[in-house]
Chains A and B, each alone.
Chain A
Amino acid sequence: MKTAETTVARAHPALVALQRIKHRSVAVPKGPALVLVVLVVVGTLLSPYFATWSNVLTMLTSASVIGIISVGMTFVIISAGIDLSVGALVALVAVVATMDSVQQGGWALMIAVALATGLGAGLVNGLLVAYGHLVPFIATLAMLASARGVAELISGGTPQTSLDETFNQIGSAKPFGIPLPVWVFAAVVVVGWFLLNRTTFGRRTFALGGNREATRLAGIKIRKHILILYTLSGLTAAIASVLLTARLTSGSNAVGTLYELDAIAAVIIGGTLLAGGRGTIAGSVLGVLIFTVITNIFVLKNLETDVQNIAKGVIIAGAVLLQRRRQNAPERAQGHHNEQRNDGYDNFSRTNGWAVSDKAGDARRVGGPRCGRVGVGVHQ
C-alpha cells in the first residue's frame, strides 16, 4: 500500500499533495458532526416544532454569543493556552458600553468602547502570559475575578438599561430575514477560519501549540504572537457582549457567567486538543451547535435544567473519550514512544525551554502513557 502511494506521489507529487490538502482542510470533524446529526434527528422526532425555520433561527441566534467566543478560544487553545476570563469580559464590556457617559455618545461610541474594552483586557491577559510568564490558567483566572469586580464597581450591581434604539437594533434586526447576530457569527467564523488555515498567523498558532521551543528556535517571535492571541480572544468576547447587550437591551455585571466553560467545552468537543497543536474552527462551531440543540430540545419538551446539565456533561465526556480512542489508535500502531503527549503541561510549565532540555527534563516530559515505565508501570 505504501509503495503504491509513493509511486503516485512521484508521478505528480505536488499535485497529489495539493489535492490532499484541499480535501483535508474543508473536511469537518466527523465525530461531532455525527453527534449533531443524531441530535437533530432526535429533536425532529420529539417535537414537530423543532425543524421549523423559526426554531432554527432561534437556535442559531442563541448559539451566536458562545459561538463567537469559541472562535477566539479555539485559537488560544490550539496555541496550548486557555482563556478563563471571557465570561467576565462579556460582563465588563456590557457594563462599560452601557455607562451613561458612553450611551450619550450614541451607538457608534458604545460599540467602539465595547471593542476597545475587550481588546484592552485581552491585551492585559496577553502581557501577563507572554511577558509576565504567568501560566495562562492563572493569568486569565485573575482577569476573570477582577473584570467582574470592575463591572460590579461600575454598575453598582444593578443592570444598566441601554436606551439607544440603534444599538438595540443589533439584537433584533433581521437583514434578509436572518437575525443580525447570526450574520455576525457567520462572519466571525469565516474570518477565523481564514486566519487559522490560510495565514502565517494561523500556522504559527499551530506551531506554538505543537512545540513552543521548536517554534521559538525557528525564529518566530512567540511572545508577540501570544500577546496577539489573547487580545484576539478579548476581541471576540467583546463582539459577543455587544450582541448580548443589544438583545437584552441592558448591561449587567451578572451576564456571561460560566460562558468560559461553555466555550472551552465546545472547542474541546469539536476535536481541538486541550494540549494544543491541533484543532479546527468548524469543530468548535459544531460543539456550540450541539449544546444549543440539546438546550433547545429540553426547552421544547419543558424539561428541567438539571437533566439538561447532566446531558451536557455526558456529551462532553463521551465526545472526548471517542476522540482519545481515535487518536491513540494510529500512534500505538506505529510502535513509537508517545513523546509529546504531555505537551500542554510542558508548554504551561516551561517558559524557557532551553533550560530544561536535559535528560531529566525529557524524562519528566515523557511522563505520559508511554509504555513499559519501570516503577509506575501499573498505570498502563
Chain B
Amino acid sequence: MTTLLSVRGAVKQFAGVRALDSVDLDVIAGEVHCLLGQNGAGKSTLIKVLAGAHEPDSGELLLDGRPVRIPDPRAALDLGIVTIYQELDVVPGLRVYENVFLGHELARAGWEQRRRMRAATTDALVRLGHPEIAPDAELGDLSPAGQQVVCMARALLREARLVVMDEPSAALASHEVANLFRVIGELTAAGIAVIYITHRLAEIRQIGDRVTVLKDGRTVSHGLDINATSDETLVRLMTGRDVANTFPPRRVVAENAPELLRVERLNRAGSFADVSFSIRAGEIVGLAGLVGSGRSEILGSIYGAIHPDSGEVTLDGQPLRPGDPAMAVRRGLGLAPEERKSQALLLDQAVYRNLSLASLERFATAGVMNRRREMTEAVAKIQSLGVRPTEPRQSIRQLSGGNQQKVVVGRWLVRECRVLLLDEPTRGVDVGARADLYALIRQLADTGVGILLVSSEIPEVLGLADRVLIVRQGRVIAECAADETDEEQVLSLLMKGSAL
C-alpha cells in the first residue's frame, strides 16, 4: 500500500476563474481510484494537470513521495502517467501496432523494427485478453471498444505506472464495459494504478477501490473507501443536495390522441430491418437498445439524416421524403443528435444563434433578419430552459454540457416542432441538469409534442417514456408500457443472445 502519486493543494486559475481551488488526491499503486464530480467540478482540469497539458499555479505533485513537475505531455509519459481521453487520440488510418508505437517507434539506425513492434503489440493485446485484435488491422476498422483496448495496450507498452481514463465506458455497450473492467483488472494486477472517471455510480461500485469527489474545483472528500460509502452519500457530496426522484410524473396519454408519426417497415442494410411503430401526440416513446443495435440509425433514417433502403415514414399521414432533413424540419420534426458537438452545435457562435438556427425564416421578412425579435425569443427561451449563464451573446463553447444540451433542445422549442427525436439527451450531462432536462422533455410532451427517446441508460428510458420499444440487432423485438416492466426485464431482453 504505497502511495504512488499525490496531489497537494493544486490550484489552477484561468482568466480569473478558479478551475482548481485546492485539490488533494492520493493514488495508491494497484488501485482503481474513481474521480467523481459534476460537469465543471474540475475533473478535466485535474487530469490535464496530470497529463502535463496544464501546469498548476500552485500546489505540489509528488510521485513516490518526491516532488515532480509535469510541464508538458512528454514529461507525463516519461513519469509513467498515461491518459486515455474520452475521445480517443488514435490515428484511424494507421495500423494497430503503428498506433501502439506512435511517437516511440522501435528502430535501429532509422529503420523501423516492425517485427518486434508487431510481436510486442500481440503480447500486450493477449495480456489484455484480446488476442483477436490483429496488430496489422487498420485501427479505424475496429469498434470504439477495440480502439480503447489498443490505447490500453499502448499504456502497457509505455510501462505506465498510472493510467488515467476519462469516461472510458461512455461509448461502450454493456458487454464491452464488462471487457473493459476485465482489462482494467489486468492493469491493476500488474501494479498499475488507474484513475477512473465516470458519471455512472454503478460502475464505481463494480470496479472502484476508493473514490475522490470534486465539487466546484475543490476536493470535498478524498480517498473514501467505496464499500463504506452509500450512493446517497456520493450524490450528496457531488451535488451538495439530496436528489430523490428525478423523473417527473407521467400523464396518461389520451386514447383519442392523434397519431403524429408513423414508421412503416423501415429497412437499412447492415443497420436495422423491418422497423414499424407510431407515436401519438403527447406520447414519449423510448427506444432501448445497446450501442450498435441500430437505434441511432433508426432515428437518423426517420429524420432523413441518413437514407433508409426501404420503408416509409409519415407525419400526419403524409409521407416524408427519405434522406431529406430539410423537409423533415419543415414538416415539424426535430432532432437532438447523439454527438452534440459535431452534429448540433455551432461551437464558436453565440447561444442565441444556436437557438435560432433551425428557425431563421421565422425571424426574417423577405430574408432580412429581425434581430430584435430573434433576441427577445432567445432571452425568453434561455429563461424558461434555465440555461446558465443567461447571457445570449455568450459563445456556446463556454457552457457546460448540460446547458449546451438545453440549447440543443431549445432550438426545437423555438421552431415549435411537433415530433422531437432525442438521441442520448443526457450523455455527459451532470445530475442537476439531467433533472432539468427530464422535466423539460415531459413538459414538452404535455403540450402535445410526440417524443422519440433513445438512451443507453435503461432507467432513463423507463423513468421518462410512456412506452418502450426494445431494439436488438436492428429489430424491434418487444414493446411494453414503461410502468409495466423493470430494468432487469429490459436488460435481459436486450442482452439475450448477445456475447455475454
A258 at interface, CB cutoff 8 A: no
Q: How far is the CB of A198 from chain B (nearest CB, A)?
A: 6
Structural contact, A334 and B14, CB atoms closer than 8 A: yes
- Other A-B pairs beyond A354-B305, A373-B85, 11, CB < 8 Å: A2-B389, A5-B389, A18-B371, A203-B369, A214-B344, A333-B17, A335-B19, A340-B341, A354-B343, A360-B140, A361-B342
CB-defined interface of A209-226 with B at 8 Å, one 1/0 digit per residue? 011011111111100000
**Residues on B with beta carbons closer than 8 Å to the beta carbon of A157:** none
- A333 to B367 Cα, complex, angstroms: 37
Q: Which residue on A lies nearest to B19, using beta carbons?
A: A335
B72 at interface, CB cutoff 8 A: yes
Q: Which of B19, B48, B74, B305 contacts A371 (CB 8 A)?
A: B48
Q: How far is the CB of A290 from chain B (nearest CB, A)?
A: 25
Structural contact, A374 and B398, CB atoms closer than 8 A: no
B37 at interface, CB cutoff 8 A: no
**Residues on A with beta carbons closer than 8 Å to the beta carbon of B171:** 359
Q: How far is the CB of B458 from chain A (nearest CB, A)?
A: 22
- A12 to B329 Cα, complex, angstroms: 32
Number of residues on chain B facing chain A (CB within 8 A) = 89
Q: Which of B360, B364, B411 has the most chain A CB atoms closer than 10 A to its own CB?
A: B360
- A336 to B392 Cα, complex, angstroms: 20
A6 at interface, CB cutoff 8 A: yes
**Residues on A with beta carbons closer than 8 Å to the beta carbon of B361:** 200
- A5 to B389 Cα, complex, angstroms: 10
Q: Which of A35-43, A46-54, A309-317, A362-370 contacts B (4 or more CB under 8 A)?
A: A362-370
Interface of A: prevailing SS? helix
B124 at interface, CB cutoff 8 A: no
**Residues on B with beta carbons closer than 8 Å to the beta carbon of A210:** 346-349
Q: Which of B45, B328, B357 contacts A215 (CB 8 A)?
A: B357
**Residues on A with beta carbons closer than 8 Å to the beta carbon of B85:** 372-373
**What 10 A-B pairs have minimum CB-CB distances, sorted nearest first?**
A219-B329, A377-B73, A371-B53, A372-B51, A372-B53, A333-B15, A210-B346, A375-B103, A375-B102, A359-B144
Q: Say whether, besides A207-B346, A213-B342, A353-B342, A372 and B83 are in contact (CB < 8 Å).
A: yes
Q: How far is the CB of B169 from chain A (nearest CB, A)?
A: 12
Structural contact, A335 and B305, CB atoms closer than 8 A: no
**Residues on B with beta carbons closer than 8 Å to the beta carbon of A354:** 300, 305-306, 343
A302 at interface, CB cutoff 8 A: no
A104 at interface, CB cutoff 8 A: no
B82 at interface, CB cutoff 8 A: yes
B353 at interface, CB cutoff 8 A: yes
- A377 to B142 Cα, complex, angstroms: 23
Structural contact, B342 and A362, CB atoms closer than 8 A: yes
Structural contact, A217 and B83, CB atoms closer than 8 A: no
Q: Say whether, besides A204-B360, A219-B330, A359 and B48 are in contact (CB < 8 Å).
A: no
**Residues on B with beta carbons closer than 8 Å to the beta carbon of A361:** 92, 342
